[in-house]
Chains A and B, each alone.
Chain A
Amino acid sequence: DVKVTQSSRYLVKRTGEKVFLECVQDMDHENMFWYRQDPGLGLRLIYFSYDVKMKEKGDIPEGYSVSREKKERFSLILESASTNQTSMYLCASTPGQGYEQFFGPGTRLTVL
């Protein structure tokens, strides 16, 4: 079974802090994704990566950056956390030619 893990289930940070969310997948998938999920808005794509060191902006990249130094790991970075970034963050991965995405358990981030 594909396993996608996220470094924290719950995280509380203060405004202005730099925040790192880590995602690791164990199935050698080429593509990895970061979404945020808010009530009534569904899942919105922040960034995705289709290879090591390769990334593309999604629908809502403002205030976020990403890093993919190794194939199995995809990090989401909030350079200076703000209260409007309080949300559930979901990581997913998929093989190179596939569309079926495999999700991690999510990180609920609260920015105070």
Chain B
Amino acid sequence: AQSVTQPDIHITVSEGASLELRCNYSYGATPYLFWYVQSPGQGLQLLLKYFSGDTLVQGIKGFEAEFKRSQSSFNLRKPSVHWSDAAEYFCAAPSSGTASKLTFGTGTRLQVTL
């Protein structure tokens, strides 16, 4: 079965500092991978997705993620964090070969200090 692990429950960074959120997955074939962001009290918004091709994926709001097959990782990065990036971030991957179901990680809550 597919599993997605986000080892960091909570991360605090200073505004302007760089950010890396970790995501590891278990999947035999090359997976589709997603990062979503959830602002307080809101639904989830897609940040970026990896389907195939270039392993470095650019997303919205200045985020990027790198797919590393050897490490089964899909870490999210941003070179300079803004206070408005404070939110919860979820990594996701397909949970089966059909029905478009996704398995989500448990999320990483990002706090940004000024």
Interface residues of A (CB under 8 A from B): 4, 9, 31, 33, 40-43, 45, 48, 50, 56, 58, 90, 92, 94-106, 108
Contact = CB atoms under 8 A, between A and B. Distances in A.
B47 to A, nearest CB: 11
A45 B49 contact: no
B32 A99 contact: yes
B9 to A, nearest CB: 7
Contact of A101 (B9, B41, B102, B107): B102
Interface of B: 9, 32, 34, 36, 41-46, 49, 90, 92, 94, 99-102, 104-107
Contact of A99 (B45, B94, B105): B94
20 contacts: A4-B43, A31-B100, A42-B90, A43-B104, A45-B101, A48-B101, A50-B99, A90-B43, A96-B100, A97-B100, A99-B32, A99-B94, A99-B100, A100-B49, A103-B43, A103-B44, A105-B42, A106-B41, A106-B42, A108-B41
Contacts of B32: 99
B100 A101 contact: yes
Contacts, number: 55
Contacts of B99: 31, 48, 50, 56
A45 B102 CA distance: 9
A50 B92 CA distance: 19
Contact of B34 (A41, A42, A100): A100
B102 A99 contact: yes
Contact of A40 (B43, B44, B106): B106
A69 B67 CA distance: 40
A95 B99 CA distance: 10
Contact of B104 (A40, A42, A94, A106): A42
